[in-house]
Structure 1
Amino acid sequence: MYMEWWQILVLTLYSGWVIFDDLGVYSGLNIPVAAGFITGLVMGDIGTGLLIGGSMQLMVLGIGTPGGASKIDAQSGAILGTAFAVSLNMNSSQALATIAVPVAALMVYTDILGRMSNTFFAHKIDSMVEKHNYKGIEGWFLAGVGAWTLSRMVPIFLALTFGSGVVEALVNVLNGGLKWLGDGLTLAGGALPAVGFAILLRFLPAKKHIAYLIIGFTLTTLLSTVFMNIQAVGGSIQDYAGAPLNGLPMLGIALLGGALAYINFKQNSTTQSTATQTMTAENTSTNFDDDFEGEIEDDEY
């Protein structure tokens, strides 16, 4: 199926909202998994959207932007990857490797363009500040926001409007004469979330909290095995129970992880509270001694 005009319009507007949200609204709709979900909702396949958006989310877990640095635009990659995967009936992992990741990398250049364009608006705001023109400050500020949102909206609109033919031809090649390459890209797409975990572990204090890592991997194995067996049993009694018992190993892991995090938080809070009370007592004692240093007592007259 091909995309309708209203789908292109909604996804284009949403791509502009993503960067606007990321600049200061922080509604939670500006992350890759949300981009995949909303795109899947618009395209009529939420499952594919969550799979591609979640994979992009996992891939950028350990990526940060210190200062004004640019990073790969995983949100735009999730939007285009999901849109083309649904409209052209592509394999999700293949769409992730051939569309979502390359688009996310290429959109770094539009991000830089958006940042550079704001230099002009920043100088205009400076001139308005000197003139005490507050309306002018607001106007040029909004113009800068508009330029940054256009850095996403324009390429997304062009890709959705004119890119279907190119992507369809690419899919035909990857599933035809170059099927070996298509299979390799599908495998690579499935492995990409592991790259995000590797980057994240590289920057987290993993050595300091190695015990939590061991517990996490152990729980993953145990709960996956237990719930897999429960799901198998549930499937066999579906006709009697009315619905199969679904396996939710990640929910159990998340709950246990949340409990451990809460315990660690309470311990740190108690330690910090004790340290603060000790420092306060020491400062009070020191100030008391300073107040009376050099003072003449009654028996010294």
Structure 2
Amino acid sequence: MSVMQALLIALIAAIARCEGDWLGECKIREPIVTGFLVGLVLGDVKSGLMIGATLQLMWMGAVGIGPTAQLDIGIGGTIGTAVAITTGTGAETAVLFAVPVAVIMQFLNTLLMSSYSGVMLIADRKIDKLDFRGINRCHYFCGLCTFLAYFIPTFLVMFFGNNAIESVVNNMPEWVNTGLGGVAALLPCLGFALLLNIIMEKRLIPYFILGFIPAAYVGFDLTMIAIAAIAIALAWIVFMLRQNEGTTVVAVSAADDEWED
């Protein structure tokens, strides 16, 4: 990997971290976006998009709710995709590097946020003095520290650690590669499960089944399992519609009785 490529990948990782702070919610940190950008830098956009899409499915339901910490998917997806492309491997290698990096960098981000409490004390004093330039300097100082905290380690790993990474990937036993391939196939299912755990309601299950069947069987012949699933979903929808009709009729009848009284 050239110096310029390492610098650009480090820039992608740093921007992905600063996106929510300086750039608003423009979704640069999503693996499908960072995968495309990394693929563009390394000259393999197709692989970057495919690996990024796999990581996107894996992390689709990984959301931070309330005080819970969210995995740092921006740098995890960036480094995971870069390692997979440079080593000529697939999503299993991206998962191998992306998940630990995402966890480690989240811990680093937590330490950074804790250290900024001292800067906030200075900002409070600036507010009392109505020193708006001083407040801006505090803001940009924290942002610059966060940017460098992600830019520098990513560059060092990508440029100086490239040979070590290739050595680790090439010397992994076959059973490890097989296991990682299975994990890469299962983790998107986990991502969907986490997402459905948040948004799924009982009345939406039949529609989920009807959407899943075409996605799973496009280009293939429908099996009896698929036909049975479609029949169950349609029967479920009809049952819910009739149940709602019965509720409406009862409600109207009760109102009529009350009016007659």
Fold match by TM threshold 0.5: yes
1:171 maps to amino acid? V
Show structure 1 runs of 5+ residues with no match.
227-301
Structure 1 residues 137 and 154 mapped into 2: Cα distance closer, same or farther (>3 Å)? same
Structure 1 residues 13 and 93 mapped into 2: Cα distance closer, same or farther (>3 Å)? closer
Q: Does 1:220 align with 2:219?
A: no
User: Which residue of 2 is the match for residue 191 of structure 1?
Assistant: 186
Provide, for residues 213-237 of structure 1, a one-character-per-residue CA deviation record: whole Å limited to 9, x for no partner.
12112222453437xxxxxxxxxxx
Q: Is the Cα–Cα contact under 8 Å of residues 173 and 179 in structure 1 kept in the other structure? A: no
Structure 1 residues 221 and 179 mapped into 2: Cα distance closer, same or farther (>3 Å)? closer
**Alignment partner of 1:56: what SS?**
helix
**Whole-Å separation in 2 of the counterparts to 1:28 and 1:97:** 20
User: Shift of the alpha carbon at 1:125?
Assistant: 0.8
User: Shift of the alpha carbon at 1:93?
Assistant: 2.3
Structure 1 residues 10 and 101 mapped into 2: Cα distance closer, same or farther (>3 Å)? same
Q: Is the Cα–Cα contact under 8 Å of residues 96 and 180 in structure 2 kept in the other structure? A: yes
Structure 1 residues 154 and 167 mapped into 2: Cα distance closer, same or farther (>3 Å)? same
**Whole-Å separation in 2 of the counterparts to 1:206 and 1:11:** 40
Identity %: 29
Q: 2:109 aligns with which of 108, 111, 115?
A: 111
Matches within 5 A, 1:1-301: 3-25=1-23, 26-89=25-88, 91-174=89-172, 178-225=173-220
Q: Is the Cα–Cα contact under 8 Å of residues 80 and 93 in structure 2 kept in the other structure? A: yes
Q: Is the Cα–Cα contact under 8 Å of residues 84 and 91 in structure 2 kept in the other structure? A: no
Once superposed, what is the RMSD of the aligned Cα atoms? 1.8
Structure 1 residues 128 and 17 mapped into 2: Cα distance closer, same or farther (>3 Å)? same
1:42 maps to amino acid? V
1:86 maps to amino acid? I
Show structure 2 runs of 5+ residues with no match.
222-261
User: Which residue of 2 is the match for residue 238 of structure 1?
Assistant: none
Q: Is the Cα–Cα contact under 8 Å of residues 35 and 53 in structure 1 kept in the other structure? A: yes
**Whole-Å separation in 2 of the counterparts to 1:52 and 1:179:** 21
2:125 maps to amino acid? S
Provide, for residues 249-274 of structure 1, a one-character-per-residue CA deviation record: whole Å limited to 9, x for no partner.
xxxxxxxxxxxxxxxxxxxxxxxxxx
**Alignment partner of 1:225: what SS?**
coil
Q: Which runs of 4+ in 1 moved over 6 A?
A: none
User: Shift of the alpha carbon at 1:137?
Assistant: 0.3
**Whole-Å separation in 2 of the counterparts to 1:82 and 1:221:** 26
**Whole-Å separation in 2 of the counterparts to 1:77 and 1:39:** 12
Q: Is the Cα–Cα contact under 8 Å of residues 97 and 186 in structure 1 kept in the other structure? A: no
More relative contact order in 1 or in 2 (CA 8 Å, sep 6+)?
2
Structure 1 residues 181 and 18 mapped into 2: Cα distance closer, same or farther (>3 Å)? same
Paired residues, what number? 220
User: Shift of the alpha carbon at 1:184?
Assistant: 1.2
1:164 maps to amino acid? N
2:6 maps to amino acid? I
Provide, for residues 83-115 of structure 1, a one-character-per-residue CA deviation record: whole Å limited to 9, x for no partner.
1222222x2122123212221222211111221
Provide, for residues 89-147 of structure 1, a one-character-per-residue CA deviation record: whole Å limited to 9, x for no partner.
2x212212321222122221111122122212211111100111010000101111112
Structure 1 residues 123 and 79 mapped into 2: Cα distance closer, same or farther (>3 Å)? same
Q: Is the Cα–Cα contact under 8 Å of residues 78 and 100 in structure 1 kept in the other structure? A: yes
Q: TM-score, normalised by structure 2?
A: 0.78
Q: TM-score, normalised by structure 1?
A: 0.68
Of structures 1 and 2, the larger Rg is shown by 1
User: Shift of the alpha carbon at 1:156?
Assistant: 1.0
